[in-house]
Structure 1
Amino acid sequence: MTTAEPKSFPFSEPERLDPEPLFEELREQPLIRVRLPYGEPGWLASRYEDVKLVLGDKRFSRAAGAGRDEARMRPIQGSSGNIMSMDPPEHSRLRRLVMKAFTQRRVEGLRSRAQEIADGLVDGMVERGTPADLVEDFALPLPITVICELLGVPYEDRKDFRVWSDAFLSTTKFTLDEVVECVGLLREYMARLIAERRESRHDDGRDDLLSALVAARDDDDRLTEDEMLSLAEAILVAGHETTASQIPNFVYVLLQHPDQLARLRDDPALIPRAVEELLRYVPLGNGAGIPRYALEDVELGGVTVKAGEAVLPSTASANRDAAVYSEPDVLDLLREEASHVGFGHGAHHCLGAPLARMELQVALDTLLRRLPDLRLAAGEEGVEWKDGLSTRGPSKMPISWGAANR
């Protein structure tokens, strides 16, 4: 490959959870220029150290993308009030407003409630009998219930905001007009909830995150109306979508690695380590990460990235870098090597990472403990995969099991 003309990226259509086959070759070469389906071209960073540098070095900026036609997989760009479009200190200001809800201590306080939800979902599956759909019957309702309760969004509205979330993450599943319409409906919905919270928050004593955002806006003037809406939307979408995708992804991968699954069944104490290895191993997203713009000339991956040029970090490639991980394409639940970058790195490290980790740990523990001999009910051909979205995962996953444990 040469850097003369930007290469179309992704290089190939994603195949289930297989990594992009060209990444191994690219990690041995200097950075190359690529063009995503939408926006201007940029440099693709595929090595672990390069990706970490782009995500963590102050010489690379998110805010510098303002007014640019940023490289992206989706037809529309994020709003100006989006926390992911900011650099510190503005980014830090918004992050501080919500980070208390996602601290390790606060999340551990939610573990018993997440366990209660997970057990209730398995009870329902067992009562109805096999086969069950792991996606609809477990993977979606678990994180949706948790984030609805945390944020203060009515769970009964989930059918609507699930459609809006899919449109928000759409690459080709929705038309541009449908995406614009759904994003608008999501914003109207959050604005309506915020208006209701404003009217009642001094009377109902609610302690949810939406009430905290309204107080930060109205009482302390610590964020704008647009910033408040964008934060609420991002928390609702990101707070359930990625975990809902990773639960069936993790189960699918474990079923493809029966030796590792048996190890986990024999020693449930390995579940936290297993979650970390699965986060490294599973390429959740399609394409590359959100672009960062060089504020000055930077030597990176064997090339000079000029000031003003964009770099697209691929965390999926970084997590399979043989310079960091021995046998990177092998799933090893006992792996003790460098931390993965599945949740990003630096200032924009995923705010909800502690919550996602806890939910994934609860999900795996509950499924493996409560459903012995968990297996695909209709084999590989019974698993239906998402299409036209920026996240990978099954859209339907029929499962069966032996005699359930109560």
Structure 2
Amino acid sequence: MSQQPILLPYGDPAFVADPFPFYRQLRDDGPVRRAVIAGGLEAWLVTRYDDGLAALSDPRLSSDVRDASDPRIVERLPATDRESMLRTMLRSDPPEHTRLRRLVSQAFTARKVAELRPRVQAITDRLLDAIVPDGHADLVTDFALPLPVTVISELLGVPVEDRHDFQRWTDAMILQGPEPPDPAVVDAAWRQMRSYLTKLLEVKRARPEGDLLSALITARDEERRLDEDELIAMAFLLLVAGYITTVNLIGSGLVALLAHPEQLRLLRHDPELLPGAIEEFLRYDGPVNPGIARFAREDVEIAGVMIPRGATILIATALADRDPARFPDPERLDITRRDNPHLAFGHGIHYCLGAPLARLEGQLAIATVLRRLPDLALAVPPSELRWKPGGLRGPEHLPVTFTAGGGR
């Protein structure tokens, strides 16, 4: 197996629109491949399911970017507040990860999330109320984006009217493509985001409410379980992670259904298939693409390939979730698929904290769209849909037509 790095062609519109033929060849070529990924960074891609599942629970692989030998990875974090950005749940390992996750885990249990169902349904209906009279919409801009933004904003206690600002700052910090991000742009966006969060937390301190940010302030000020930088970093992570992948789940799920009309008809006929359909959307074209990064704490062997200490290892969940050794007929969208232990939410101690909330939002969003927007169809040819270029996959816009005036 050649160990010359292969370039993931993020500059190629055809790859961005549909990377899976390229991925299939990459997986067939070998279980571990060196590659140049988004932003020009080099990583070792773990391409097959069993190896990826094991790697996600391997204590020799760290989530802490300070374990990376490539200094560019740390340098791409905002320079003005790099240390606190390194101390989030996403980028920490036990015992710090355990401490931080425990502070917020109770807000995202299945029971707590189930209690949010009426409110999520109400937000979903309100957003669709605004578009059903028109007979056309952009289901990303008008629906898939504001739905999870509103839900996580209410859960945290963030004014939803501020969403355009924090979305703009978030995009500047995390959007990926073939070229490295501009450090000055990233840093400026983070300074604005930090200033916003600092002022918001001051308001919460003065007038605490029954939201998650108020609870975290209590953990900071009274229980001393967070310092101020950790509090701000936690607020940022929860706000951004609470919506950015769910937007893509809803958008990509709707695109998949529109591209597979037999599956769309099946789901319309039997809405009870929806929970399984959400799992299939996550497997078939999940929002994290190509996968989840880890860093080797020591020299580590994966699938017979020795990977050096400090290397970036990208557990390519998008490739693993179409591995024919694990999923029969993996290139086919099948909303009735039963055995579907996909890796879209990760695995192990870093398994996505917000998975129950994302599933709920995805189910209610897609069920309500199918119920209230009859004769749903793309308003443009599929080839004209634009997709996000790397790291987080989903349609940038989703123009559709439907019969106006759909009821509840």
TM-score when normalising by structure 2: 0.90
Partner of 2:6: 7
Q: Counterpart of 1:380 in structure 2: which amino acid?
A: P
Classify 1:379/1:63 alpha carbon distance in 2 versus 1 (closer, same or farther; 3 Å).
closer
SS in 2 for 1:132: strand
CA distance in 2, matches of 1:179, 1:40: 17
| Structure 1 residue 53, shift from structure 2 partner | 1.4
| Structure 1 residue 63, shift from structure 2 partner | 3.0
CA deviation map 1:150-180 (0-9, x unaligned): 0110011111011012112222597432222
Q: Say if 2:95 is the partner of 1:95.
A: no
Q: Counterpart of 2:256 in structure 1: which amino acid?
A: V
SS in 2 for 1:396: coil
Extract unaligned runs of 5+ from structure 2. none
Partner of 1:63: 64
Match of 1:209 among 200, 209, 212: 212
Partner of 2:368: 366
SS in 2 for 1:373: coil
**2:120·2:364 contact (CA, 8 Å) conserved in 1?**
yes
Partner of 1:352: 354
Identity of aligned residues (%): 41
Partner of 2:158: 153
**2:66·2:74 contact (CA, 8 Å) conserved in 1?**
no
Q: Counterpart of 1:190 in structure 2: which amino acid?
A: L
SS in 2 for 1:181: helix
| Structure 1 residue 26, shift from structure 2 partner | 2.7
Partner of 1:200: 207
| Structure 1 residue 390, shift from structure 2 partner | 3.3
Q: Which moved more, 1:395-404 or 1:115-124?
A: 395-404
Partner of 1:261: 264
Partner of 1:21: 22
Partner of 2:321: 319
Partner of 2:33: 32
**1:36·1:72 contact (CA, 8 Å) conserved in 2?**
no
Q: Which moved more, 1:57-66 or 1:232-241?
A: 57-66
Q: Counterpart of 1:404 in structure 2: which amino acid?
A: G
Partner of 1:49: 50
| Structure 1 residue 292, shift from structure 2 partner | 2.7
Superposition pairs of residues 4-403 of structure 1, within 5 angstroms: 5-9=4-8, 13=12, 14-19=15-20, 21-38=22-39, 41-63=42-64, 65-66=66-67, 68-69=69-70, 75-76=76-77, 79-127=85-133, 129-172=134-177, 175-201=182-208, 206-293=209-296, 295-380=297-382, 383=385, 385-388=386-389, 390-402=391-403
CA distance in 1, matches of 2:21, 2:349: 27
Q: RMSD of aligned C-alpha atoms?
A: 2.4
**1:35·1:42 contact (CA, 8 Å) conserved in 2?**
yes
**1:10·1:286 contact (CA, 8 Å) conserved in 2?**
no
Classify 1:247/1:29 alpha carbon distance in 2 versus 1 (closer, same or farther; 3 Å).
same
CA distance in 2, matches of 1:334, 1:57: 32
Classify 1:73/1:405 alpha carbon distance in 2 versus 1 (closer, same or farther; 3 Å).
farther
**1:33·1:41 contact (CA, 8 Å) conserved in 2?**
yes
Classify 1:236/1:83 alpha carbon distance in 2 versus 1 (closer, same or farther; 3 Å).
same
Classify 1:73/1:221 alpha carbon distance in 2 versus 1 (closer, same or farther; 3 Å).
closer
Classify 1:75/1:288 alpha carbon distance in 2 versus 1 (closer, same or farther; 3 Å).
farther
SS in 2 for 1:44: strand
CA distance in 2, matches of 1:73, 1:359: 33
**1:170·1:179 contact (CA, 8 Å) conserved in 2?**
no
CA deviation map 1:291-319 (0-9, x unaligned): 232x3443311212344433221110110
Q: How many residues align?
A: 398
CA distance in 2, matches of 1:120, 1:343: 28
Classify 1:248/1:36 alpha carbon distance in 2 versus 1 (closer, same or farther; 3 Å).
closer
SS in 2 for 1:125: coil
CA deviation map 1:120-150 (0-9, x unaligned): 11111123x1211111211111111101100
| Structure 1 residue 30, shift from structure 2 partner | 4.3
| Structure 1 residue 10, shift from structure 2 partner | 5.2
CA distance in 2, matches of 1:101, 1:137: 27
CA distance in 2, matches of 1:253, 1:105: 30
| Structure 1 residue 404, shift from structure 2 partner | 1.2
Q: Which moved more, 1:61-70 or 1:104-113?
A: 61-70
Extract unaligned runs of 5+ from structure 1. none
| Structure 1 residue 68, shift from structure 2 partner | 4.1
CA distance in 2, matches of 1:33, 1:268: 43
CA distance in 2, matches of 1:18, 1:345: 23
CA distance in 1, matches of 2:99, 2:401: 47
**1:82·1:231 contact (CA, 8 Å) conserved in 2?**
yes
| Structure 1 residue 285, shift from structure 2 partner | 3.5
| Structure 1 residue 28, shift from structure 2 partner | 4.8
Kindly report structure 1 stretches of 4+ aligned residues shifted beyond 4 Å: 37-40, 70-75, 386-389
Q: Counterpart of 1:350 in structure 2: which amino acid?
A: C
SS in 1 for 2:328: coil
CA distance in 2, matches of 1:41, 1:371: 44
**1:54·1:311 contact (CA, 8 Å) conserved in 2?**
no
| Structure 1 residue 34, shift from structure 2 partner | 2.5
SS in 1 for 2:207: helix
| Structure 1 residue 287, shift from structure 2 partner | 4.4
Q: Counterpart of 1:375 in structure 2: which amino acid?
A: A
Q: Which moved more, 1:269-278 or 1:39-48?
A: 39-48
Q: Counterpart of 1:177 in structure 2: which amino acid?
A: A
Q: Counterpart of 1:188 in structure 2: which amino acid?
A: S
**1:191·1:229 contact (CA, 8 Å) conserved in 2?**
yes
TM-score when normalising by structure 1: 0.91
